[in-house]
A and B are shown apart, each in its own frame.
Chain A
Amino acid sequence: MTTTFLLNGASATLDADPTMPLLWALREVAGLTGTKFGCGMALCGACTVHIDGVALRSCVTPLSAVAGKNVTTIEGLQSRPAKAVQAAWVGLQVPQCGYCQSGQIMSATALLEKNTAPSDAEIDAAMSGNICRCGTYPRIRAAIHSAAQTLKG
C-alpha cells in the first residue's frame, strides 16, 4: 500500500504498511536517517519532524496520517530560521554525541518560525520535550537566542 505526501519539498510515494510510524518510513523506506529513534513513545523528541510546519513526533505518527501533507525533516530544512539555527548550533558548538540534535534543531526551528525572540521560559517550554542525555541544554538555549539575534539583524 502506498502513501503520497510532500517530503522536503518534493512529492514522495512510499510503499509501506500505513500503520508504520512515519519515523521508520522516513528512515528505512525513504532512506532519510537524520531523524532518530530514541523512545518510540513521543517522550524524547529525537524523531521530531515538521508536519505542515508544526513540530511533531514521527515515532507515534502513522504513515497514513501524513497522506497529502507537507513533511520536512532535518535533511530538508531550508527556511531562514532553520539556517540561523543550524549556524548557531555550529557557532556555539552545541552537539556532543549529536544523536538528539536533529530533533532539537527541528524543535528550535519550529519555535523561531513562530516566535522570533523567545524568552528563556519560552525556549524551555518549546524544548522540554527534547531530551539530551549529554546535557547540551545551556548551549541549546544560548544557540536559540543567538539564532534569534541573527534573524533580527
Chain B
Amino acid sequence: MTPPRTASRTSRRAFLKNTGAVSAVALTIGFQWAGPARRAEAAETGGVFMPNAFVSIAPDGSVTVIAKHLEMGQGAYTGIATVLAEELDADWAQVRVESAPANAKLYANLAFGMQGTGGSSAMNNSWAQLREAGARARAMLLQAAAADWNVPVTELTTDKGVVRHASSGRQAGYGALATRAAALPVPEQVSLKDPKDFKLIGHRVPRVDVAAKSDGTARFTIDVAMPGMLVALLKRAPLFGATVRSFDATAAANVAGVVKVVQVPNGVAVVAKGFWAAKQGRDALIVDWDDTHAEKRSSAEIMTEYRHLAGQPAATARKVGAAGPAIKDAAHRIAASYEFPYLAHAPMEPLDAVVKLTADSCEIWTGDQFQTLDQANAAKAAGLDPAQVNIHTLYAGGSFGRRANVRSDYIVEAVSIARAFGADGTPIKLQWTREDDLHGGLYRPMYFHKLEAGLNAQKELIGWRHVIVGQSIMSGGPFEAMVKDGVDPTSVEGASTIAYDIPNIDVSLVTTRNPVPVLWWRVVGSSHTTFAVEAFIDEVAHAAGKDPFAFRRDLLAHEPRMKAVLELAADKAGWHDGPLPKGKGRGIAVAEAFNTLVAQVAEVSVDAAGKVTVDRVVCAVDCGIAINPDVIKAQMEGGIGFGLGAIRFGAITLDKGKVEQDNFNGYRVLRINEMPNVEVHIVPSAEVPTGVGEPGVAPVGPAVANAIFAATGQRIHLLPFPESVRNKA
C-alpha cells in the first residue's frame, strides 16, 4: 500500500501562490510596467532585435540573454542561456548574459509569483518560458529571411546563428536579419524542438562566467567602485534582540578617513573613505546596548528545552494509520534522537550592497536574490515608492540562501545608512566582515529530532514516529501563509515527505520561538530531516538484520525514480562487491529535494585514533532532462563538499546569548584536504528539468554517518561529528 503523500509534495510554489502578502508586493511593483510589446523593438534601440524580455540580438550577431535569476555559482546564467539559445539555434560563442532589472511582472520566478532565486527552481520555472522565448525569436528571424528572399519559410533552416535556404544557397546571420525581424509581429504560437534535436541541452557547453572568474575580472558587489563612493561598516548588537541605548562616536570620528557616524535601526554605522578607515572607526566606536529583550541563553540550554518539548503536544505534519499503537505493540522497537546546531551560510563574499540614494531615487548594486521583496523593503527603508528603487543584480560570491531573506537585512541596512547619511546621492557601500557574517544571525535553525520505529515479528517496518522541535523559518514574515495548522513546511520537508512504504506514520512538529533570527540554508529542511530519516532508517535496517541498501529498496517499490537512483548509486559504488577491509565502511542514503532525487554512497576510513577520512562519495542524481551535465556534476560535487563540511565541523553556538564563533578558525568549513573523491552519475530522463543547486547536499551527512557505523559500530546522533569516533567493537 502506498501511503498518501499529503501536502508533502506541495512545492514552495503552491505555498507562495497562496501567500497574499507576496501577491500584494508583486502587484504594487509589477503593474506599473507595460505588458510585453506585441511588436518587437528595434527602431529606437539601434537595430537591436528584442522580441521579448529575455533576449536581444544585435546587428553584429551577438545574442544577449537576460537572466531573471541570480548567478551565485550554481550555473543559472549558463543554464538559462543554454535553454534559450537551444530553441533560437544561436551560436554559443556569440551568447552573453546580462542580469534582469527588478521587474516582478516581466521577471517573476513562476514558482514564487515574484522575482527571486531559490528552492533550486531557476531551471524548472524557466524551462518552458525560455524555450518559447527562443523559439519565437527564431520564428521571426525565419520570417524576416523568407520575406527578404521571397521563399517559403518551410524551406529555411537555422544553425549556429545563421538562416539558410538550401536550394538557392542563400544564407544570412541573425545579426543581418535583426532589424527586419524586429518589424514583424511576435507569433502567437511556435513549435518547440524535439529533444532528440537538441544541440546544446544535454551537451558539454562551457559556462558563460568561467573565463572572467579565472582572471579576476568577474565583478562582484565588493568590486563596485564609483567616484565619491564611501564605505560603511555597521556595529551590530552583540546579543540577538539587543538595541542601541546610546553611543559615543568621539574616538571613531577622530579616525583619519571617517566621514560620518550614523545610527540606523540595526546599530551604528561608520561611513568612511574606504574599508580600512571604516574598520578602524568601527573598532573605536563605543555603543551602550540595551539587552532587556535579548536572547541570553546558551545553545546548550536551548537544546535542553528542545529535548523537553519533544515530549509535549505537537502539530501533525503527516499521519498515516496509527503509528503510536503500532510501535507500542511491535515485536521490536527502535528509538533514537538527533541534535542539529545552528549553521551559518558563510558565503565567501561577505554580505555587501552599494546604495546611491537621493530624495526621489534609490539605486542598488548587489548580488540580489529576492529582487521583488528587496525592492519593497528598500523602498520602505528609503521612504520611497518601490518604483523609485532600481536594482542592479551582480554576481554573488556564494549565498546558499543567505542573500534571499524576507527582511532584506543587509540591503535595508545599506539603504538606512544612506538615508541617515543624508540621502544626498553619495554612493555608499555597506561591507560586512566575516565576523559580522558569523555573528549576524539568519542561521539554519537548531533542531531536535526524536524517532521511534516498530518492527513486526517478521522484522517488517510497521510503524514510524518522528517528532521535530525547532524554530520556524516562515513564521512572522510575508511567507506566514505557508504555515498551515501550526506546521511550517520548511521545518518538516524531507521528514513529512518520507517516501518509504510504511503502513503507520506519524510526523509532528513543535515550533519554538526565540530572538535568534533563522533562515533557509542550502537544501532547507532536508539539511536536517534527511540526516534524521536516513540515519534512523539505517538503524532500523540493522535492527531488522537487513542490508541497508536492500531494506531501503524494498520500501521504495512504489517510488520508481527514487528506487532507480538508489540502485544506480549502489551499483556504481560497488555495494554488491562485498565488505570493505577492516577500518573502512560504506554507507548509503537517498533523498528527494525540490523534486530532484539523489542517492549517495560514502566510503570512510577510521584510523586507530578514531579519525575519520571520507575517501569517496558516489552520487546518482535524477533531475529530469540534464540541461548541462557538467554543471549538474559540479553542483553534486559542491553540494557534497558543502554538506560534508557542515556535518563534520559546522556549528554556531551561543554562550549566554553571544555567538562563540568569530571567523573561519572557530567556524570550520571543509578544506581541500578533507574533500573526498566524488563520482557523479546522471539518470537519463525525459522529464521536465528540476534543480540541482541544493539536493546534492542532503544525503551526504547520513551516508557518511552510516559508513562510520559500518566501520566502527558507532552511530552519530549529535552534529557536528565528534573529533574522533571510537570503535565500539
Interface residues of A (CB under 8 A from B): 17, 20-21, 24, 27-29, 31-41, 43-44, 46, 73-75, 77, 86, 89-90, 93-102, 105, 123-125, 127-128, 130-141
Most buried by B among A21, A33, A102, A135: A135
Q: Are B634 and A136 in contact (CB under 8 A)?
A: yes
Chain A proximity mask over B418-429: 1 for CB below 8 Å, otherwise 0: 000000000000
| Main SS class of interface, B | loop
| B630 part of interface (Cβ distance < 8 Å) | yes
Q: Which residues of B contact A132 (CB under 8 A)?
A: 348, 641, 672
- B640 partner, pick from A20, A75, A135, beta carbons under 8 A: A135
Given A20-B276, A89-B214, A96-B634 in contact, is the A134-B671 Cβ separation under 8 Å? no
- CB distance B639 to A93 under 8 Å? no
- Set of chain A residues within 8 Å of B718, measured between Cβ atoms: none
Please tell me if the beta carbons of B276 and A90 are within 8 angstroms of each other in the complex. Answer: no
Q: Nearest-CB distance from A136 to chain B (Å)?
A: 6
Indicate if the CB atoms of A138 and B209 lie closer than 8 Å.
no
A-B contact pairs, 27 of them (CB 8 A): A32-B216, A37-B222, A37-B275, A38-B349, A41-B665, A43-B665, A73-B216, A74-B215, A75-B215, A89-B214, A90-B211, A96-B75, A97-B347, A97-B396, A98-B210, A99-B347, A101-B213, A102-B216, A127-B672, A133-B348, A134-B638, A135-B639, A135-B642, A135-B670, A137-B672, A138-B675, A140-B672
Cα separation A74 to B678 with both chains bound (whole Å): 29
With A and B bound together, what is the CA distance between A133 and B216 in angstroms? 18
* Nearest CB of B to A130, in Å: 7
> Of all chain B residues, which has the CB nearest A41?
B663
Contact A31 B225 (CB under 8 A): yes
> How many pairs of A and B residues are in contact by the CB < 8 Å rule?
178
* Interface size counted on chain B using CB atoms at 8 A: 62
Chain A: minimal CB distance from B444 (Å): 14
Query: Is B637 in contact with A135, judged by CB distance below 8 angstroms?
Result: yes
Complex Cα–Cα for A37 and B663 (A): 13
Q: A90-B210, A97-B347, A97-B348 are in contact. Are A137 and B675 (CB under 8 A)?
A: yes
Residues from chain A with Cβ under 8 Å of B223 in the complex: 27, 33
B-to-A contact residues, CB < 8 Å: 72-75, 206-207, 209-220, 222-223, 225, 231, 256-257, 274-277, 346-350, 395-400, 431, 433-434, 630, 634, 637-642, 645, 663-665, 669-673, 675, 677-678
Whether B349 lies near A99 (C-beta < 8 A) is yes
- How far apart sit A135 and B663, CA to CA, in the bound complex (Å)? 19
Residues from chain B with a CB closer than 8 A to the CB of A136 are 634, 637-638
| Contact present for B642 and A133 (CB under 8 Å) | yes
Taking a contact as CB atoms closer than 8 A, the residue among A28, A138, A139 that contacts B275 in the complex is A28
Report the Cα distance A95→B220, complex, angstroms. Answer: 14
Q: How far is the CA of A131 from the CA of B434 in the complex (A)?
A: 13
Is the pair A24, B274 in contact by a Cβ cutoff of 8 Å?
yes
A100 touching B634, Cβ below 8 Å: no
Cα separation A51 to B311 with both chains bound (whole Å): 60
- Residue among A44, A127, A133 with max Cβ neighbours from chain B (10 Å): A133
Q: How far is the CA of A87 from the CA of B672 in the complex (A)?
A: 21
The CA-CA distance from A27 to B422 in the complex, in Å, is 27
Q: Which residue of A lies closest to B72 (CB)?
A: A97
